Amino acid sequence: MNKVNTTRKSAILLIYTGGTIGMKQDVNDLTLKPFDFSQILEEVPEIGKFACKIDSHAFNPPIDSSDVEPSLWQALANLIKEKYEEYDGFIVLHGTDTMSYSASALSFMLDGLTKPVVFTGSQLPIGVPRTDGKENLISAVEIASAKDNEGHAEVPEVCVCFDSILMRGNRSTKINSEEFRAFGSPNFPPLAEAGINIRYNREFIRKPNDWYQSLTINTSLDTRVSILKIHPGITPRVVRNILCGEDTRAVILETYGSGNAPMKKWFLDILDEAAGMDKIIVNVTQCLAGTVNMDIYANGKMLEKAGVIDGYDSTTESALAKLFYLMGKSGDNGWVREMMVKNLKGEISK
Ligand code: ASP
């Protein structure tokens, strides 16, 4: 744990997991390498100007977020729990590729949150002149340390801060691999926007019922989930292998439009077979925005009749994380289905 700034007001823990933001170009071979994170103040002297104490914690080794596994989420949840009383907010520096998965997972794994957990990263390493990393980090620090008039956190949620927009973590999704606006929240308004000032959209920010409750963490995850994206030409064999797979307890069916899939006999037969095996099947749309509504078309209705449950306007990332979390809590698939259609952490509009 490195003490970066000793001025007292809010205290922030900056957790570095890896990703582009923490890389610097090596002067000798010009490759991108993670820099020594205890030097963060040297790289971004601007964060030293905030009237808050910022400590840092780096995971070793730092990883490209394509290598993220649920074990990282468990480690993050444990670290946040361990340090919860010492800090007013947490910033998780993370690669962009799987940031929405991690933010979604943490939103379910942390219960009774009264403090901000802000994920951010960058498209360009912090050591290059046009980096977006500095601005993202500076906005994240300001948001993670922001308090309202009563001294409570402005945003006591797990969120993603990127390119001046603060999004609910479990509503975010990576939408662009090369532009600075890498993330969107297509089905939920931004929680805040950073312009000259940070404008908080307070009507959309979730507040705890009890500001003095303690944080509990759920680190037991069951990862036996597959994702099946429906497409023209999909074969019975592929569908069957995934829906009825031995190691699969739940399947996220990425369907067309408002939740439609082919109405062919073989497809219905496989759904029946999967239902007979007590598989949990969740319907999430392939569209970037909008919601599943299985009542609109006959093809959607037939999925509902086959026992497929409604994923509403969930992102795939959030549906996956929610399944991991619920299945980790209980072996009862009926209970998991019941909870899947409930709005637990603002992840669906219901
Ligand atoms: N591949 C990198 C990662 O997700 C990309 C990034 O950091 O933006 O870790």
Ligand 1 pocket test: pick from 35, 63, 96 the residue with the most ligand atoms within 8 Å of its Cβ. Answer: 96
CA angle 59, 61, 64 (to 5 degrees): 95
- Residue 8 in this model has a pLDDT that exceeds 50: no
Confidence of residue 5 (pLDDT cuts 50, 70, 90): very low
Mean pLDDT of the chain: 93
* Residue 238 CA to ligand 1 centre (angstroms): 30
CB 299 within 8 A of CB 262: yes
Q: What is the pTM of this model?
A: 0.94
Q: Which pLDDT score is estimated for 256?
A: 95
Q: Which pLDDT score is estimated for 1?
A: 52
- Residue 267 in this model has a pLDDT that exceeds 60: yes
Q: What average pLDDT score do residues 208-212 get?
A: 96
* Residue 17 CA to ligand 1 centre (angstroms): 11
Q: Which has more pLDDT, 24 or 345? A: 345
- Phi, psi (deg, nearest 5) at residue 332: -95, 105
pLDDT digits 0-9 by tens, 35-69: 777 777 778 888 888 888 999 999 988 899 999 99
Burial of 298 (0-12, 13-18, 19+ CB in 10 A): exposed
**Strand, coil or helix: what is 319?**
helix
Ligand 1 pocket test: pick from 33, 35, 65 the residue with the most ligand atoms within 8 Å of its Cβ. Answer: 65
Percentage of the residues of the chain whose pLDDT score is greater than 90: 79
- Phi, psi (deg, nearest 5) at residue 183: -120, 150
pLDDT digits 0-9 by tens, 83-113: 999 999 999 999 999 999 999 999 999 999 9
Catalytic residue from among 20, 98, 120, 285: 20
- Residue 331 in this model has a pLDDT that exceeds 50: yes
Indicate which atom in ligand 1 lies nearest the CA of residue 98: 4
Q: First and final CA of the chain: distance in angstroms?
A: 41
DSSP codes joined into one string, 271-288: HHHHHHTT-EEEEEESSS
- Residue 7 in this model has a pLDDT that exceeds 50: no
Q: Which residue's CA is the closest to the ligand 1 atom numbered 7? A: 95
Is 6 a known active-site residue? no
Q: Which pLDDT score is estimated for 286?
A: 97
